[in-house]
C-alpha cells in the first residue's frame, strides 16, 4: 500500500476490542461497521475485561478473516506476536512500545502506525520509519483510562505547520459532530472507538461519520 492509499484507508478507522461493544457481539459490530463504510480496522483487545490467550487469538482470527473478506486493512494494537499470528496488515504502537524502527525490521511489509502527542514525537516517529500517526486525545474520552490531557485539533495543525506530511488520524472522543474540526486541522481521517462500537446502529454511525468526512475534504 503506498502512502496515498494509506491516506484513503485512514479516513474512517475503527479501533475496537470485545470490551468496547457494550455487550454486543464484536463480530456483528465489526460487520455492521464495515457495511457502514469503515476504511480500516484495529483490533485493540485491551483493558478491564479484555480476552486473554486462546480466546483473544480466536476472536482476532475471526475479525481478521472478516476484514480480509471485505477488503478492509486489519491492524493489531501493540502486540507483535499477535500481529504475526493473525497475519495482520499492520501494527499500531504507542510511545511506550518497541520503537517503530524495530517493528519495521521484525515485521517486514507491515504497516506501522505510531501514537504521537506533539511535534517532537511526530518527528521521531517519522525518523523511525512510521507509516502513519495517531494523534490524541483530540477530545475527552472515556474509552482509554490512561489517555493524556485533551489536546484538541490544534496539535494536528502544529504538526502540519511543523512539516509533518505523514498520513495522520486524530483519535479520542471523536464523533460526527466534532470530526470536521479534526479534518480541517489537517488530519487525513479519524479513528474512533465508542462513536461506532457503542452506537445503537454501528452501521448508521459509520455511514454518518464517513459522509461527514467526505463532505469536508482536507483543508477545506
Ligand atoms: N488512544 P473513543 S484515545 C485508543 O489519545 C485511544 O492516543 C487515544 O476512544 C490516544 O473514540 C483512545 O471512544 C480512545 O473516545 C478513543
Verify whether residue 214 is a known catalytic residue.
Answer: no
- Report CA-CA distances (Å) from 41 to 93, 101, 150, 181: 14, 22, 23, 22
Can you list the domains of the chain with their CATH numbers?
3-216 (3.20.20.70)
Q: Which residues carry a binding-site annotation for Mg(2+)?
A: 78, 97
Q: DSSP state, 68?
A: H
Spell out the SS3 assignment of 33-90. Answer: HHHHCCCEEEECCCCCCCCCHHHHHHHHHHHHHHHHHHCCCEEEECCHHHHHHCCCCE
The Å distance, Cα 174 to ligand 1 centre, comes to: 8
70, 144, 158, 184: which one is catalytic? 144
115, 160, 197, 203: which one is catalytic? 115
The 10s digit of each residue's pLDDT in 1-52 is 899 999 999 999 999 999 999 999 999 999 999 999 999 999 999 988 899 9
Ligand 1 lined by 16 (C-beta under 6 Å): no
Its pTM surpasses 0.90: yes
Verify whether residue 220 is a known catalytic residue.
Answer: no
Omega before 124 within 30 of 0, i.e. cis: no
Whole-angstrom Cα distance, residue 80 to residue 90? 9
For ligand 1, atom 16, name the residue with the nearest CA. 172
Instruction: Assign 133 a pLDDT band (cuts: 50, 70, 90).
Output: very high
Q: DSSP state, 117?
A: -
Instruction: Assign 217 a pLDDT band (cuts: 50, 70, 90).
Output: low
Whole-angstrom Cα distance, residue 56 to residue 38? 22
The Å distance, Cα 173 to ligand 1 centre, comes to: 7
Q: What is the mean pLDDT of residues 151-178?
A: 97
Q: DSSP state, 13?
A: E
Q: Percent of the chain scored above 70 by pLDDT?
A: 98
Amino acid at each position: 500500500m503506498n502512502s496515498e492509499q494509506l491516506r484513503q484507508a485512514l479516513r474512517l478507522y475503527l479501533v475496537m476490542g470485545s470490551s468496547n461493544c457494550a455487550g454486543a457481539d464484536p463480530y456483528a459490530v465489526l460487520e455492521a461497521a464495515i457495511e457502514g463504510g469503515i476504511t480500516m480496522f484495529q483490533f485493540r483487545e485491551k483493558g478491564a475485561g479484555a480476552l486473554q490467550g486462546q480466546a483473544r487469538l480466536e476472536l482476532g482470527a475471526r475479525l481478521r478473516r472478516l476484514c480480509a473478506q471485505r477488503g478492509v486493512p486489519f491492524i493489531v494494537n501493540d502486540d507483535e506476536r499477535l500481529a504475526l499470528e493473525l497475519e495482520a496488515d499492520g501494527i499500531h504502537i504507542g510511545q511506550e512500545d518497541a520503537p517503530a524502527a524495530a517493528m519495521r525490521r521484525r515485521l517486514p511489509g507491515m504497516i506501522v502506525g505510531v501514537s504521537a502527542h506533539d511535534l517532537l514525537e511526530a518527528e521521531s516517529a517519522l525518523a523511525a520509519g512510521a507509516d502513519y500517526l495517531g494523534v490524541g486525545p483530540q477530545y475527552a474520552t472515556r474509552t482509554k483510562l490512561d489517555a493524556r490531557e485533551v489536546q484538541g485539533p490544534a496539535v494536528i495543525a502544529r504538526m502540519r505547520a511543523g512539516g509533518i506530511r505523514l498520513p495522520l488520524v486524530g483519535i479520542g472522543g471523536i464523533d460526527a459532530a466534532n470530526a470536521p474540526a479534526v479534518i480541517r486541522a489537517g488530519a487525513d481521517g479519524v479513528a474512533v472507538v465508542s462513536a461506532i462500537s457503542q452506537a445503537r446502529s454501528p452501521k448508521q454511525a459509520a455511514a454518518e461519520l464517513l459522509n461527514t468526512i467526505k463532505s469536508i475534504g482536507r483543508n477545506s
